[in-house]
Amino acid sequence: MLDLTAFGAIIFDMDGTLIDSMGVHLKAWEATCHHFDYPFDADYQYSLGGVPSVQTAILMNAKYAKDNDPFEVAAYKQQVFERLEHIPPLISDTFHIFEHYKATLPIAVGTGADKQHASWLLSHYGLLEQLGALVTADDVTHGKPHPETFLKAAEQLQVAPQHCVVFEDTEMGRKAAISAGMQCIMVVNTKVQLP
């Protein structure tokens, strides 16, 4: 077990870090890209993991010189995701860390998902009620790689940012954690990478 006793709090990203949902999100984005005539690049879409869907659509418009309504794109992607009717599994590496430290360290989730989706998914696994804070795309003005998500989580936990450790699976999320003044431990292909 990772020794995290030097920290005052743990903040997990959700999709691809605590819950293995990135594959389903990529399927939803693939369908959305086809519908709105964007090229689909799985690696590019994965690199945007943790970025709210509206902001992802804005980035895709810029990258592919499109002028689709970002809110329409995000709503379509959410509908496709919900129609897939797939409840993604927990990631055992990070779930074991969650279980091991939940009694001794405050834990938050900082995610680019919307509040309704994040709350539903975390509740499904009985995790929501064990959190000290949940910060979603609906709670911030700037999504990852901006540090606001993680800074708000630290503030709600009442722990200084430099005493928090973040678990993330994307470069966008890692940048957000580092910008927030926090240490970051990466989760690559569902495996925690030892620092």
Give the long-range contacts of residues 62-71, CB within 8 A, separation 24 or more: 64/38, 64/39, 66/36, 66/37, 66/38, 68/36, 68/38
| Complete DSSP assignment for 52-106 | -HHHHHHHHHHHHT----HHHHHHHHHHHHHHT---PPBPHHHHHHHHHHTTTS-
What residues act catalytically? 13
Phi, psi of 191 (to 5 degrees): -115, 130
Query: Distance between CA atoms of 159 and 151, rounded to whole angstroms?
Result: 10
Q: Report the half-sphere exposure of 180 (CA within 13 A, side-chain side).
A: 33
**Residues in Cβ contact with 28 at an 8 Å cutoff, skipping those fewer than 6 apart:** 77, 78, 80, 81, 84
